[in-house]
Amino acid sequence: MRIAKEDIPVKVNAAPGAVARQQEDFGDATGYGPIAAEHYRLAAGTDLSPLLQGLEDNLCQAPHWGYLVEGELTVTFKDGTEEKPRSGDLLYWPPGHTVRAEKDSEMVLFSPQHEHTPVMDHLNKMLGG
């Protein structure tokens, strides 16, 4: 799920230059435990699919919430659907996805660390690290 910041409903409009927006029901973190804060830079053309080979369904099985600071991505889900987050979008990716950078991209993600740390360890192993 992605949403452009302009499409997030305004909840508080206190003064010029002071606006708070809130999208309710943007994923569910129930039962995930500690959350890790993550920062990524992906060069255009980076495709994580080959590095996810060997994981369940050959996909990342951790959910993520975040913000695409700049760039453009293609996220492919287990059911084959795709979405294309762009600069400024808020993100929620459920378990069962892969990511490809269409443009140089920078993003911030929040992920359950007990689910995503093994995925990152797997990526390092696939990279020979």
> Which CATH number covers residue 97?
2.60.120.10
Count up the domains in the chain and report the number.
1
Contact between 63 and 115 under an 8 Å Cβ cutoff? The reply is yes
Kindly report the number of other CB atoms within 10 A of residue 102's CB atom: 16
Q: What is the pLDDT of residue 21?
A: 84
Does the structure show a pLDDT above 90 at 18? Answer: no
- pLDDT category at 27 given cuts 50, 70, 90 is confident
Residue at 28 is within a domain: no
Q: What is the pLDDT of residue 104?
A: 96
Q: For the segment 44-84, what is each residue's pLDDT rounded down to a tens digit? A: 999 999 999 999 999 999 999 999 999 999 999 999 999 99
Residue at 19 is within a domain: no
Residue at 54 is within a domain: yes
Give me the domain span that covers residue 74: 2-8+34-126
Average the pLDDT over 26-34 and give the result.
84
Q: For the segment 73-124, what is each residue's pLDDT rounded down to a tens digit? A: 999 999 999 999 999 999 999 999 999 999 999 999 999 999 999 999 999 9
* Residue 16 dihedral angles phi and psi, to the nearest 5°: -55, 130
